[in-house]
Amino acid sequence: MVAEILAVGTELLMGQIVNTNAQYITKRLNDVGVNVYYHSVVGDNPVRLKECLELALNRCDVVITTGGLGPTRDDITKESVADILGIRLVRHEEIFQNIKCFFERVNRRMMDNNTKQADIPEDCTIIPNNNGTAPGFLIEKDGKTIIMLPGPPREMIPMFEDTVYPYFEKKTGQIIGSRMLKVFGIGESEMEMKILDLIEAQSNPTIAPYVSKGEIVIRVTARSKNYGEAMKMINPVIERIRERLGSNLYAFDGETLEETVVQLLIEKNISISTVESCTGGMLASKLVNVPGVSKVFDNGFITYSNQSKIDVLGVLPDTISTCGAVSKETAVEMVKGLIKRTSTRAGISITGIAGPDGGTPEKPVGSVYIAVMLDGEIESIGLKLNGDRERVRHMACLNALNMLRKKILRL
């Protein structure tokens, strides 16, 4: 079964809002065994909307529209669908009364144009909207299925989950189960060579690697009659991937690197503090985004200036003048001063040049030094990171977290 998602709304084409609906619907359709081949976006223009609908119906079994079901003149989705299919719109009294009750409940005046939301395509299945005034519709005609949903995600998502997803569960009789593996510490090419034979031999389950925000994600997916059977197919494949990638494989169900590290810290009862220069608190922010981190996180310092490194951490002025604030030596002294000040078992320091200015031929933009201390043992590293300021800072944090993760695994 092949589907197309057609988002309706000029505001999408103008970049005023992001089409998160297509991402959500695609993922959920994949979960139930419906293949999404196309995403389309069209403005509030009846001619172009009908062209897109005709094209979608010609090449797909299922067309799901989002948007264009409101009360205003430019909300034209159901009218366009009705024209294409040659069916009438008819007034639905119960929906009309529900709309009236909605406006009474929120103490607002119901305008005349709101009544058009009670006009529905004949012989359709109504998809109730418990969070707004625009119902959705499901039409089966000539071997095709058209589903119309409102645009606001807070309305669309419950309607999809309550009505649309169960519809496709019955229709397909199968689900697609997936697990998301995450890899850090090796490049995409090296990773692929380690598991290339597994990728080439895939059929069901399938293995799909891709890069996302500096990390490698490997999606392992199986098509089966139920989720339990899909996992039985997936898990042996994951075990073979784990054997190839070793400790570079850090997550099996889409966990972030910071979630993985925090879980290890909690399991091992290891307290941690951080001190940051070029990342400016980003590392601490990543850690405190994880629920439960208060059990292990003690302190986070930002020592951005040279003087603050000296005053707060006790970094020697000679170290900064001789080696530079951006150096392995300074990073090591920063983490030593951090542990001395906080007495935590683990500490991380980061210093570097995030750019876009400040680099030199010897230390270009993207030069970052990290030191990790755990139970008195220090490991340090120098990196040459590429990308803009935000990416350099982000990748510095990931590398720091990964260093700590691997040190904990060696305990």
d(CA 107, CA 240): 61
Residues 106 and 236 placed together within one structural domain of the fold:
no
Residues 279 and 190 placed together within one structural domain of the fold:
no
39 and 52 Cβ atoms separated by less than 8 Å = no
* CATH code of the domain covering residue 124: 3.40.980.10
Query: Which residue in the block uniquely carries the two structure tokens 């807070």?
Result: 154
Q: Give the pLDDT confidence score for residue 114 in this predicted structure.
A: 81
Domain boundary among 207, 225, 251: 251
Residues 161 and 199 placed together within one structural domain of the fold:
no
Instruction: Write the single-letter amino acid at 286.
Output: K
The distance of Cα 151 from the centroid of its chain, to the nearest Å, equals: 20
Read off φ and ψ for residue 276, nearest 5 degrees: -135, 145
**Quick count: other Cβ atoms within 10 Å of Cβ 158?**
16
Residues 131 and 219 placed together within one structural domain of the fold:
no
Taking the CA atoms of residue 374, residue 380, residue 384 and residue 385 in that order, the dihedral angle to the nearest 10 degrees is 10
Cis? peptide before 356, omega within 30° of 0: yes
Residues 216 and 362 placed together within one structural domain of the fold:
no
Residues 28 and 153 placed together within one structural domain of the fold:
yes
Residues 127 and 274 placed together within one structural domain of the fold:
no
Domain boundaries, position 112: 2-172
Task: Please tell me the number of Cα atoms within 13 Å of 180 on its side-chain side.
Answer: 11
Count Cβ atoms within 10 A of the Cβ of residue 304 and give its class: 0-12 exposed, 13-18 middle, 19 or more buried. Answer: middle
3-state secondary structure of 359: coil
Question: Tens of pLDDT along the chain (411 residues)?
Answer: 999 999 999 999 999 999 999 999 999 998 888 999 999 999 999 999 999 999 999 999 999 999 999 888 888 999 999 999 999 999 998 888 888 887 887 788 888 778 888 899 999 999 998 888 889 999 999 999 999 999 999 999 999 999 999 999 899 888 888 999 999 999 999 999 999 999 999 889 999 998 888 899 999 999 898 889 999 999 999 999 999 999 999 999 999 999 999 999 999 999 999 999 999 999 999 999 999 999 999 999 999 999 999 999 999 999 999 999 999 999 999 999 999 999 999 999 999 999 999 999 999 999 999 999 999 999 999 999 999 999 999 999 999 999 999 999 999
Residues 218 and 270 placed together within one structural domain of the fold:
no
Domain boundary among 142, 172, 202: 172
Task: Please tell me the number of Cα atoms within 13 Å of 384 on its side-chain side.
Answer: 6
Residues 105 and 55 placed together within one structural domain of the fold:
yes
Domain boundary among 172, 187, 211: 172
Q: Give the pLDDT confidence score for residue 316 in this predicted structure.
A: 98
Instruction: Write the single-letter amino acid at 67.
Output: G
Residues 147 and 233 placed together within one structural domain of the fold:
no
Residues 54 and 81 placed together within one structural domain of the fold:
yes
Residues 280 and 366 placed together within one structural domain of the fold:
yes
Return all residues near 44 (Cβ < 8 A) that are at least 6 apart.
Answer: 8, 9, 10, 68, 74, 75, 76
* CATH code of the domain covering residue 189: 3.30.70.2860
d(CA 151, CA 196): 41
Give the count of domains, the chain.
Answer: 3
* CATH code of the domain covering residue 290: 3.90.950.20
- CA dihedral sign of residues 332, 337, 338, 340: positive
